[in-house]
Structure formats: C-alpha cells, structure tokens
Amino acid sequence: MKNIILFFLATVSFTVAFAQQKIKPVFNSYTAAGIQIGQSEPSATAETINGIKYRNWFAGAGVAYSAYKYRSLPIFFDARYSFGKKKQFFISGDIGYNMNIKTNYEEDMFYYNVKYKGGMYLNSGLGCLLQPTKKHSFYVQLNYGIKQERKIAKEFIWIDFPPYNRSNENYYTYKYDLKTVEVKLGFRF
C-alpha cells in the first residue's frame, strides 16, 4: 500500500518537473472495461482516464465504475510509466476516493436504517499496448485494487422484556477493504 502511494507521489513529481522544461505535453485518454475478481462474485468494471503524456510518463484523472460487492464510482488520480522497446508496456498507479452510489441492498433488509459511505481507493497495474501507434492503440491491463466501504446499520428490534419503554440505539459498523484483481481491455488515444 505504501509503495503505491510513493509511486504515485514520485510520478506526480516527475510530471511537474518535465512540465517546467517547456516540453509540449500530449493529451492522452485511456478507456477500458473488464472484470474484477475477488472473494465475492466477479463483477464488471469500467474506467476512463484523461491526462497529459510526456515521453514515458503520463498523469491524469479518472473515474471508474465498480460493481464489486457494493456499486461505487471511484474518482482518482492516475500516473503511469511506459517502458519497453516500443514503450508498449506500462505500469500504473491510482489513488482516490471510492464514492458509493447504491444504498439499498437485500442483505440490509433486517436493519431499519443503513447508511453507506465510501473510502479510499487504490489501484496499481501492469499494462500492454497492443499494436501501438503514436495516435491510438488497444491495450490490456492487469490491476490489483483496493476499495474501501463503510456501512453503518441500525437495528430496530422490539423486545418484550424488562425494562420496558426504553429506547436503545444499537448499530453495526462494517469496514470493508475489498480487494480485487482486474483484467481490462482498453483503448488509448
């Protein structure tokens, strides 16, 4: 986890440094869809990342859709570094916030009040451009991601034993770190 954060910070530093050398940046967009595999049911994911590319470096911002366990929209910063003879390989790192987008699940039917909150989003991966050209190319990517979810569920239970006529507030707090491996196919331009 720490390595991913360090990697991200290093990437941002490089990007800023190159920007100061008056070298013209190039706009790049990465859009991909794929599958997330983890302990829970496999699910679909999609993302789009837009940013600036300079030589081997790219930095941008993205938004993703993740249906893994709890539906969410991670919003994040992305940095990636290309390498190889044709610069066809790249490694990437994302850091951001996992924004929850659904709040009613069947599993919560026995609670009377459930609130979902998002949490940190981290993702790193290795990618490969397929038949790369300067302008565009398809790519495949293998990622490892963690998204955090928080759920606070209050329960309302009528209990007919003493002391009567009291109100309790019982609640559960769930803290999830949902870890997945993602295989994505994307298009870069």
Partner 1 sequence: MKKTLLKTISLFFVAAVLVLQQGCIKDSCHKTYTYTYFVPVYKTSAEVRANIKSNAPKAVTNPGKIYIKGNYIFLNEVDKGIHVIDNTNPAAPKNIAFIDLPGNVDIAVKNDILYADFYMDLVAIDISNPLNAKVVKFVPAVFPERVYYGFNIDSTKVICDWVKKTETVNYDCENDSMAAFSGGGVLANAMDAGLSKSSAGTPVGISGSLARFALVNDYMYSVSSDSLRIINVTAAANPVTASTMNLGWGIETIFPFKDKLFLGSSSGMFIYSMQDPVHPVKEGTFTHVRTCDPVIADDNIAYVTLHSGSGCAGFSNQLDVLNITNIQSPQLIKSYPLTNPRGLSKDGDMLFVCDGNDGLKIFNAVDPVNISLLQQFILPAANDVIAFNHIALVIAKDGLYQFDYTNTRNVKLISKISTQ
Report the interface residues with partner 1, using CB under 8 A: 37-40, 69, 126, 128, 130-131, 140-142, 144, 154-181, 183
Do the Cβ atoms of 45 and 72 come closer than 8 Å?
no
Nearer to partner 1, 32 or 59 (CB): 32
> Helix or strand or coil: residue 84?
coil
Nearer to partner 1, 15 or 45 (CB): 45
* Closest distance of CB 131 from partner 1, Å: 7
* Closest distance of CB 12 from partner 1, Å: 26
At which residue do the structure tokens 């990622």 appear? 143
Do the Cβ atoms of 59 and 77 come closer than 8 Å?
yes
At which residue do the structure tokens 């470096």 appear? 57
Do the Cβ atoms of 59 and 28 come closer than 8 Å?
no
Long-range contacts from 3-10, C-beta under 8 angstroms, 24+ separation: 4/93, 4/95, 4/122, 4/124, 5/95, 5/122, 7/79, 7/93, 7/124, 8/77, 8/79, 8/93, 8/94, 8/95
Nearer to partner 1, 83 or 171 (CB): 171
* Closest distance of CB 168 from partner 1, Å: 4
Nearer to partner 1, 55 or 86 (CB): 86
Nearer to partner 1, 60 or 132 (CB): 132
* Closest distance of CB 146 from partner 1, Å: 9
Q: Label residue 13 left, alpha or beta by phi (over 0 means left) and psi (-120 to 50 means alpha).
A: alpha
Nearer to partner 1, 46 or 126 (CB): 126
* Closest distance of CB 13 from partner 1, Å: 28
* Closest distance of CB 48 from partner 1, Å: 20
